[in-house]
Amino acid sequence: MTKEIIIELDNVWKTYKMGTVEVHALRGMSLKVKKGEFLAIMGPSGSGKSTAMNMIGCLDIPTKGEIKLLGRDISTLHESDLAQIRGKKIGFIFQKFNLLNTLTAKENIMLPMTFQGIPREEREKKSEELLGLVELKDRMDHRPNELSGGQQQRVAIARSLSNSPDVILADEPTGNLDSTTGERVLDFLKKLHKEKGTTIVMVTHDKKIAEQAERIEFLKDGSIVKNL
């Protein structure tokens, strides 16, 4: 049976104007992400990885081309509509963790659910379950500055799962971690994919990291190429 396509980019361009100069960050990028796959997008610095991540994650709209999320064209939506889609359909894991230092681990995980109007009791229960999943239930009341880098990234993974998204986007998820801790974080992502069937799209410049995925797509000069 053919797997459902969750995200599709069709001839996507993103052009930024820098004064009188036009910079083409993406040049006709096309990509299909199927439900339940673990995909790595690999490319050198300046290849357009960050812009591609923004497009796949509905953080921005293209200059031209189409982006479909679960069959819905999001290319022309307003920011408020994009924000709603992001909150429900996509979970983000960032290189710099992006945890709020004023909140505990548990509260950081609860936050995305707050924006979706989920009752507090349900938010607390789900947050504790997710902390158990990433083996940090004993750290639920600790703030980010009381956690190691690896622990912070595991809290970020738990937070990305809080609204049961259709896809997890991981932007250089091991970039700020030592190799041993990075391997553990990758193991968590692979476990999510294998045991729960989570769709994961990971952006990286590191070949060893990319090889942990089922499929690798190479990005060069703003478009997908067969090899770098």
pLDDT of residue 110: 95
Residues 54-112 have pLDDT tens digits of 899 888 889 999 999 888 888 778 888 888 888 888 998 888 888 999 999 999 999 99
Spatial CA neighbour of 220 closest among 25, 64, 54: 25
- Sheet with 21-34: strands ordered across: 21-34, 5-18, 64-69, 72-73
AA identity, residue 120: R
pLDDT of residue 184: 84
pLDDT of residue 2: 64
Cα(42)–Cα(96) distance, integer angstroms? 19
Distance, CA of 158 to chain centre: 12
Q: What is the CA radius of gyration of the chain?
A: 17
pLDDT of residue 27: 95
What region, left, alpha or beta, does residue 110 occupy, with left being phi > 0 and alpha being psi -120 to 50 degrees?
alpha
Does 228 score more than 60 pLDDT? no
Q: How confident is the model at residue 227 (pLDDT cuts 50, 70, 90)?
A: low
DSSP 8-class letter at 58: T
Residues 170-222 have pLDDT tens digits of 988 888 888 888 888 888 888 889 888 899 999 998 898 999 999 999 999 99
Q: How far apart are the first and last CA of the chain?
A: 32
Q: Where are the domains of the chain?
A: 5-100+163-225
CATH T-level topology, domain 5-100+163-225: Rossmann fold (3.40.50)
Q: What mean pLDDT is predicted for residues 26-54?
A: 93
Spatial CA neighbour of 90 closest among 13, 162, 37, 195: 162
**17 token code pair:** 């104007």
Tokens 């200059």 belong to residue? 63
pLDDT of residue 1: 57
What percentage of the chain reaches a pLDDT higher than 70?
A: 98
